[in-house]
Structure 1
Amino acid sequence: MLEPAYQADVVVVGAGIAGLTAAHRLTSAGITTAVLEAAPCPGGRMSTEKVDGFRLDRIGQLLNTAYPELSRTPGLDGLVLRPFAPGVLLHSDGRRRRAGAPAGGGSARGALHAVRALASAPRPPAALPRPLPRPRGGSSRGASVPRARAGAPLGTAVDQARLGAALTRIAHTPLERLLSRPEAPAGLALAARGVPARTVDGFLRPLLAALLCDPDLTSSSRCADLALRAFASGRLCLPEGGAEALPELLARALPPGALHTGVRVTSVATNAVTTAEHGVFRCRAVLVATDARSAAELLPGLRVPEFHPVTVVHHATDEPPETGASLLLDADRGGPVAHTAVVSQVDPSRAPAGRALVSSTVLGPPPPDLDTAVRIHLARLYGTSTARWETLAVHHCADAVPAMRPPHDLRRAVRLLAGLYVCGDHRDTSTVQGALHSGRRASAAILADLGATGPMHTAEPLRTAA
C-alpha cells in the first residue's frame, strides 16, 4: 500500500513558471512548500530541446522588456534577455520594410548585445515603437479599403505618421484608462476606431499574430491593447539559452528538496494531494498550477478555454539569410508561416559556431506536408533558397496559447475556496507576463488565508512507494 509520505504547508501541482513563481514567494515568506511536476523537468510549455548543439524552443514565446513581472519576480535576477532589432520586418508584395522602429534606430545587427532583464530599461517614450489610440470620429468604420501599393505595407506616409502617433499615445496611456475602453474582438475594435484596413492588414494583424498567436484578431481588444502597449514601451526579445532559462532560474531559487519531478497527481483536496507514485501529500493548502486542461481534470467545473494551436519549425543552415536579428512577419499571409527569425543572430548561444538557427512559427492547424510548405514560404520571405536547409525539429502544440476572446476576465479568480487555489496564464493574459502575474496573485491569496507568520511544518524527504 502507498502511505502518506510528505507534509508541507502548501503543495503546488505543476512546475511551470506560474507555479514556480508562487512557490518561490511562499518559501520566501517562510511557508514550507512542495512542488510536484509530472514531467522529468520543470518548465511546462517553456521547454527547450537540445539537438546537435542547437537549442530549440517548444512554442517560441516572445518576451518583452516592458513586462513588469520580469523585474518583479524574485529569482529572475540572473535572466539575460537578447533583444531583436528595433521594430519588426514586414514582408509585403515581395519586399521587406521595417516598421515600428524609432527613426535612426540603427541596423538589426546593433541589437545583438546582451542585456540583463532587470537592467533593461524601456526606451524613452519618444524613441519607441507605438500602438493604437482611441478613435476620434472613426471615418472608415467598417469600410473596405484597398490594399496598400507595392512596397508600402503601412499605406501612405500620412497613414504611417498617424500610426506612429497612435503608438506613442498608447505607450503613455495609463492602464486603468486602457482597460476601461469598451471590449470587443480586436479586429472589430480597430475598425470601429477608424484604423484604415490597409494599416490593420499591413502591420497590426501580423504584429498581433506574433504577440497573441491570433491572426484572425478574435482576441479581446483590451488584451490587444495591452500587447501593443508593451510593444510600444519596450523591446521584443528572447531569453538567452532558450525558453527554459526562466523556469530553470525559478527552480534553482527554491530550497533544496522543494521540487519533485516525475510525480503524477491524481486528485486534490483542500488539505491533501494524492499521487500515483508516492501516496498522499498532506498540507494546509493546494495550488493547482498546471495548464488549463489538466487543471480542469483535477478541479471539475473549472472553465477550459479554447486554444490557439502553434507549430514551430526549426531549420539549420550554414548560410543565414541577411535579415540580422530581426523578427520577420508576413503581411501578405501568403503561406503557413506567420513569423520567422534567424534566432541565432538574436541569441548566439542557440546554435553551434559556424551554423545558424532559423525558427518559424505556424499558427492554426498545420497544413499537409508541413516542411515542404514552410520551406517554400521561407524561400519567398527571405529571398533565398531553402533547399539545403536541415530540418532539426517540428514542435506542434494544440493547446499552446489560451484564447482570450471577449469578454475576457484579465484577473480570473485564483482562490476557489479556502485551501484550494489555481494559477496559470489561463487565469490572466496568455503571455509570460500573465503567467508570472497569476502566480504572484495566487501566492498572495494563500499567504493572506494562512496568516503566514513562519513555517507551519518541517518538510520531510520524499519516499518512494514500496
Structure 2
Amino acid sequence: MSAKPRVVVVGGGIAGLSAAFRLQQAGCETVVLESGPPELVGGRMATVDVRGFAVNRAATILIHSYRELIRLIAAAGLAGEVVPGNDLFGLVRGGRVDRVRLGSRRQLATGGLLTSFPLGDIAKLLRDYRRVRPLLTPHDMSPMAAADFESVHQYATRRGLRPETLEYLLDPLVSGLCLGEPEEVSAAMPFVFLDVILFGGGFFTSKEGVGFLPKGLARQLTVEHHAQVTSVEERGEEVAVSWHRPGEAEHLETAAACVLAVPPPQVPQLYGQLTAEQREFLDDAPYARSIHVAFGLDRPTAERAMLVQASRVEHPDLCAFVLEHNFSPQRVPEGTGLVMTHLRGAWSDRNWELGDDKVVDHVLAGVRRMGILPELERHTTMTHIWRVSPCLIGRRPGDYRAIARFAAGFDPRGRVQLAGGDILGHSTTNSSVASGERAARNLVARLRTEGTLTPERR
C-alpha cells in the first residue's frame, strides 16, 4: 500500500485539476474523477479542435493580474506555451466601434472610451471602485457583502448616473462577466470587471487556446474519464466515493479526504452531509446558460480589437465578440480568423432548443444590424455551436451576504472540501484556480495535523 495519503478529487475542471496538482505536489496520492471525455478536460476551460481551429469551450480571456493562475502555469512547467496577447478593446456605439487599450490606465483616461461618458459619472464610478477594491478577492467574495444591497440599475439610479452610462458602460460590464441584465445583477459585479479594465495589466493566451493549462495539468495527474460519481460520504477517518463508468461495475474509492469541484447545484446531490442552509445556498446558484457560436474565417477581420462588446441598445441579444486571431496570430492557422460570438443568458434560456442553423442566422442578422464584422457573412468556412449549462454565475442583490454566511459555516478543516469559483466567487479561471488551491491547502493542513502527511514529503 502507498504510504502517501490518498485524496479523491471529483470534477476535472480547472478548480479540480488545480486542487489535485497542488495536493500531489504536497505529497498526496490523488485521483481525479471526471464525468466527461478526455477532449473536454478542463470543463468550461476546455479547448477542442474543430477543422483546424482551436476553439475554446467557454473561458477565453487570460489576464496578467490572474496571479494564482500564472503561478500555477509556472509550477506546472507550462510557461513556455504562453504567448502575449493584444489588449485592444472595442465597444459598439451608434454603429461604430470605440477602441481603447485595456493594459494602459493612461490610455484609458485619454483614449476616448471613458472620456466619451459624462465626467461626473466616471468620477462617481472611480470613487466607488476605490472603496470596494480592497474587498475583491479571487477565492472568496464574502467581503463584498458590505457593498451588496442593490441591483446595478438601482445603483445607477441612486448615484444619478446618466442613461448612456448605464446602457453603454455598466450593461456591457455586467453582460461580459455573467451574461446578465442590470436589473437583476448585484451592483457589486461591475466593479469586478472594472478591476480587470483598470488593473488587469494586459492579456495573454496560447496557440492551443486556454485549454493548454488543464491539458497540461491532466498529463501530470491520474484522471479517470467518463467517471460518474454517485455519492461522497465521510466515514470517520476516511471518505468513501462511489462512481461508475458505462460497462463497468460500481467502483468504491476510499481516501483520507476529498475535494468536490463540481457546479454548486450538483454538490447536494453527491454529498448528503450538509446542513439545510448549506444545501439551500448551493441549490440556489444563479447560473446563466449560454449558447455561443464560433466562426472560422478564411481571413482575419478588418476589426483589430481582441474583444468587442455591445450594449443591449445596439442589440437586445448579442453582447460580446472575442476575436481570437487578434489575441495573437499564433491562435489560428496562418491567414485565417476565429470569432466567438456570445449571446445574453436570457436569450439562450428562451432559445435553448433552437436549431443550430437558426442560431447562426440570428447571430448573422445581429452583426448586420450593428454594422460590424461583415466577414462573418462573407468569409466563414466553419461554424461550431456550444451549448453550456450551467455556464456563468450572475450574483444577485444579497448573494454576497449569502456567500459570507455559507463561508462562515463551512469547516475549513473538514475531510471534504469544496472547490470552484462559482462557490464563493465568480465564474473566472483565476477564481477557480484560487478556490482549488485553497481547498488543497485546507486538506494539506488537516493531513499534516493528523500526521499522515509530513512537511518533508514533496
Q: 1:362 aligns with which of 343, 349, 355?
A: 343
Alignment check: 8 A CA contact 2:148 2:186 kept? no
Residue 265 (structure 2) aligned to one of 270, 289, 293 = 293
Structure-2 change in CA distance of 1:161 and 1:341 (3 Å):
farther
Partner SS for 1:30: coil
Matched, 1:242 2:209: yes
Describe the SS at the equivalent of 2:295: strand
Give the corresponding residue for 1:273. 241
Matches within 5 A, 1:91-106: 91-99=92-100, 101=101
The answer on 1:175 being equivalent to 2:98 is no
Taking structure 1 as reference, are residues 211 and 422 closer, same or farther at Cα in structure 2, changes over 3 Å only? same
- Letter paired with 2:9: V
Q: 2: CA distance between counterparts of 1:291 and 1:403?
A: 14
The DSSP-based 3-state class of the residue aligned with 1:55 is strand
The CA distance in 1 between the partners of 2:37 and 2:9, in whole Å, is 16
1:159 corresponds to which letter in structure 2?
Answer: P
**Equivalent of 1:330 in 310, 321, 330:** 310
Match of 1:387 in 2: 377
Confirm or deny that 1:216 pairs with 2:182: yes
Distance 1:224 1:127 in 2: 21
The answer for the alignment partner of 2:82 in structure 1 is 80
From the superposition, tell whether residues 13 and 56 of structure 1 become closer, same or farther in structure 2 (CA, over 3 Å). same
Q: TM-score, normalised by structure 1?
A: 0.77
Output aligned runs, 1:224-263, within 5 Å: 224-235=190-201, 237=203, 239-240=205-206, 241-254=208-221, 258-263=222-227
Amino acid at match of 1:250: L
Residue 146 of structure 1 is matched in structure 2 by: none
Residue 156 of structure 2 is aligned to residue 193 of structure 1: no
Deviation at 1:387, TM superposition (A): 3.1
Q: Which of 3, 10, 23 lines up with 1:26 in the alignment? A: 23
* Corresponding position: 1:377 with 2:366: yes
CA contact under 8 A between 2:117 and 2:165: conserved in structure 1?
no
Which amino acid in 1 is paired with 2:364?
R
Q: Is the 8 A contact 2:413 2:446 kept in 1?
A: no
**Conserved in 1, the CA contact under 8 Å of 2:174 and 2:185?**
no
Question: How big is the shift at 1:281?
Answer: 1.0
* Cα distance change of structure 1 residues 404 and 172 upon mapping to structure 2, 3 Å threshold: closer
Q: Does 1:424 align with 2:388?
A: no
Deviates more, 1:224-233 or 1:416-425: 416-425
Q: Provide the residue aligned with 1:404 in structure 2.
A: 395
Q: Is the 8 Å Cα contact of residues 206 and 215 (structure 1) preserved in structure 2?
A: no
Structure 1 unaligned spans of 5+:
103-121, 131-151, 457-466
Quote how far apart the aligned CAs of 1:429 are.
1.7
Q: How far apart in 1 are the matches of 2:320 and 2:14?
A: 25
The one-letter code sitting in structure 2 at the alignment partner of 1:275 is W
- Structure 2 residue aligned with 1:53: 52
Check 1:183–1:448 CA distance in 2 against 1; reply closer, same or farther (3 A cut). farther
Q: Deviations over 1:50-109 (max 9, x none)?
A: 1111011112443322223223434375262543434x211122122125x47xxxxxxx
Q: Distance between the aligned counterparts of 1:82 and 1:69, measured in 2? A: 18
Q: What is the correspondence of 1:144-163 to structure 2 with a 5 Å cutoff?
A: 159-160=118-119, 163=122
Distance 1:162 1:355, change over 3 A: same
- Deviation per CA, 1:273-328: give whole Å up to 9, x if none: 11214621111112111122332320246322121111221112224331114311
Give the corresponding residue for 2:139: none
Does the aligned pair in 1 maintain the 2:69–2:434 contact within 8 Å? no
One-letter code of the match for 1:38? Answer: S
Report the aligned-residue RMSD: 3.3
> Does the 8 A contact of 1:6 with 1:282 survive in 2?
no
Q: Tell me which residue corresponds to 1:137.
A: none
| Structure 2 residue 330 is matched with structure 1 residue 349 | yes
CA distance in 2, matches of 1:5, 1:335: 58
Matched residue count:
405
* Structure 2 residue aligned with 1:462: none
CA contact (8 A) 2:5 2:453 kept: no
- 2:212 and 2:62 map into 1 onto residues whose CA distance is 12
Q: Percent identity?
A: 23
Q: Decide whether aligned partners of structure 1 residues 394 and 402 sit closer, same or farther in structure 2, where only a CA change above 3 A counts.
A: same
What 5-or-longer segments of structure 2 have no aligned partner?
A: 137-142
* Cα 1:346–1:381 shift into 2, 3 Å: farther
CA separation of 1:206 and 1:381: change in aligned 2, threshold 3 A:
farther
Instruction: Work out which of the residue numbers 15, 36, 39 in structure 1 matches 2:36.
Output: 39
1:222 Cα offset (Å): 2.6
Q: Point out the more displaced range, 332-341 or 170-179.
A: 170-179
* 1:139 corresponding residue in structure 2: none
Q: After TM superposition, give the deviation of residue 228 of structure 1 in Å.
A: 1.4
SS at match of 1:290: coil
Q: Distance in 2 between matches of 1:77 and 1:265?
A: 30
**How far is 1:7 from its partner?**
9.1
Q: Name the amino acid aligned to 2:398.
A: P
Tell me if the contact between 1:54 and 1:352 (Cα under 8 Å) persists in the aligned partners. Answer: yes
For residues 167 and 329 of structure 2, the distance between their equivalents in structure 1, rounded to whole angstroms, comes to 32
Output the CA distance in 1 between the equivalents of 2:333 and 2:254. 47
- Indicate the structure with greater helix content: 2
| CA deviation string 1:141-192 (max 9, x = no partner) | xxxxxxxxxxx987x8571575278448836965149834353223322332
2:129 counterpart SS class: helix
Q: Secondary structure at the match of 2:399?
A: coil
Q: Is 2:311 aligned against 1:312?
A: no
Match of 1:127 in 2: 106
- Check whether the contact 2:293–2:342 (CA below 8 A) recurs between aligned residues: yes
Distance 1:220 1:72, change over 3 A: farther
Q: Match of 2:150, SS?
A: coil
